[in-house]
Structure 1
Amino acid sequence: MAGIRVLGINGSARKYGNSFKMLWIALKAAEDEGAETEIIHLYDYKLILCMACYSDNLYECYYPKRCPLGLEDQYHEIAEKILSSHAVIFSTPVYWFMASAAVKTLVERMTGMENMLYHIGKSLLDGKVAGIIAVGEETGATMALSWLMLTLNMMGFHIPAWATVYYHGKGDAMDNEQAVLDAYNLGRNVARLAKILAGKVDGEPWYSLDYRSRARQLAEEAKKTAMNNREAARRDRPWL
C-alpha cells in the first residue's frame, strides 16, 4: 500500500553487527509488504540525556519544545523522522542486561511527544506501530524487550503479534535460520498492522513459514551489506 513508511532505528555503535543485520532483514520484509523504509544509526547523532522536566512540572515537557540542554543536540532530527513514519522498528544490542544507552536516551527524550496528551489531548505517538529487536551474547535480551515493549505501548504504540524478536548467542545471527525468519516476520507484521490501521486489511497469518526461502536470501544480502559497512567503519576506526 502506497504511503506506509517504516523507520528502522539501529541502537548499536556497530553498523555491521547483528543488531543492524536483524533490523535490515525486518525492513526488507516491510518493503516486501509495500512499505517505504529508512534506517538510521543512533550513534551518528548527538543525543543529550533527558532533563526530567516532567518530574518537576509535567506541563513543561512537550514537543517540539527544545530541552534546556538540548539546544545543540540532534534529537529533533530523529523525532521528526519518527513522527513522519507510520511505524518504527527499534533494534538494540544488550549492554549489561538492558538496551543500549543510546536507545534508552532516545526513548526517555520521546516522553515529550507522549506528554502532548496533557496539551492537545493525544500522544503524538498514538496509533503508530512498533517492532522491537534485541541482540546479545549474554542474558538480558528479554529484559530489554520487556522494557521497550512496556514503555512504547504506554507512549501510544501498537505492537503486533510476533513483533518482539531476540537473538541470544555468539556468531553471525544470519546463520541462524530461526532468527532470520523471526526478523522477517516482524517486519511483515509491523508493515501489515500499519496498513490495517490505515484501512487496508488482509487475512494472512501473522507468522508464516512460507518465507523461509526469502529470509535466507535476505540473510546473505545482509551479510554483504554489513561487511561493506564494516569496511567503511575501518576507515574511521582502523583497530576494528
Structure 2
Amino acid sequence: MTTLKALVLGCSLKKSPAPSSAELLGREVLAALADHDVDGEVVRVVDHDVRFGVSTDEGDGDAWPRIREKVLAAQILVIATPIWMGQPSSVCKLVLERLDAELSETDDQGRPSMYGKVATVAVVGNEDGAHHVTAEVLQALNDVGFSIPAAGGTYWVGEAMGSLDYQDAGPKPDTTGKATTALAANAAHLARLLAENPYSGG
C-alpha cells in the first residue's frame, strides 16, 4: 500500500511551546491517519512569519511559500482551528486567504494545483460554532480545489460560555474519537483513490 502524506496546519493564536487544544486534536487526526499508512507533520502557523495577502508569495520574508511547499507535497490537508466568537480563528482565515491564490495555479498537466488533494478540518472550542466553522472552512477549501471526504470534520466543544479546554478535558468523549477515526479512514480512502485515478482537468 502506498504511503500518503498529510499536513496539519494548526491555527492556534498561541505560539509554541504554549499548549494548543487545536493542535492536540490535529495530532490525534494524524495518529488516526497513521493507521491507514499516512505519514504527516504539524505546522503551527503562528510560529512562522506568514504575511497577509492572496498570492503565493507576498515577498519581504514571507514564510508562506515554505508552508505552501508542504501543502503541495501532501495528499491530505488538515486544518485544525479553535473557535473564536463562533468563527474560525483569524489564523485560519489567513491560511484560507493565502490558499485563495491556488485558484490561479496549475500543475504540470494544467489542472488546478489543489485538485487531487483531500481536505479535512478539526475544530475545538468552549462555545457554540463547531458546525458553522466546519462548514465555512470546508467550503473554502473545496472552492480552491480540495476534495472533501464523507465525515470530513471532527470537533469537540465544551460547556457553553465555559473555560475548559480540550487539552484539559480528561478522558475524551467517544463521539469525538469516533468522528476522528471516521475522518481519517475516509480521508485516506479518498486520497488513495484520487492518487490512482486523478481528475482530468479543471
TM-score by length of 1: 0.70
Indicate conservation of the 8 Å contact 2:13/2:89, yes or no: no
Specify the alignment match of 2:120 in structure 1: 131
**Alpha carbon RMSD of aligned pairs, Å?**
2.2
Q: In the alignment, is residue 184 of structure 1 matched against residue 164 of structure 2?
A: no
| Alignment partner of 2:27 out of 19, 24, 27 | 24
Give aligned-pair identity as a percent.
26
Q: In the alignment, is residue 145 of structure 1 matched against residue 134 of structure 2?
A: yes
Q: In the alignment, is residue 85 of structure 1 matched against residue 74 of structure 2?
A: yes
| Alignment partner of 2:47 out of 34, 44, 48 | 44
TM-score by length of 2: 0.83
CA distance in 1, matches of 2:184, 2:24: 13
Structure richer in helix, relative to its length: 1
Number of equivalences = 185
Deviations 1:169-226 (A, max 9, x none): 14435522211221122122212211122239xxxxxxxxxxxxxxxxxxxxxxxxxx
Indicate conservation of the 8 Å contact 1:26/1:188, yes or no: no
CA distance in 2, matches of 1:36, 1:175: 24
Specify the alignment match of 1:11 in structure 2: 11
State how 1:1-240 maps to structure 2 within 5 Å: 1-14=1-14, 16-50=19-53, 63=56, 66-67=57-58, 70-116=59-105, 121-169=110-158, 170-172=164-166, 174-199=171-196
Q: Give secondary structure in 1 for the equivalent of 2:127.
A: coil
Structure 2: which 5+ runs fail to align? 159-163, 198-202
Deviation for aligned residue 1:121: 4.7
Deviation for aligned residue 1:30: 0.9
Deviation for aligned residue 1:96: 1.6
CA distance in 2, matches of 1:92, 1:177: 20
Q: Rg bigger for which structure?
A: 1
Structure 1: which 5+ runs fail to align? 53-60, 201-240
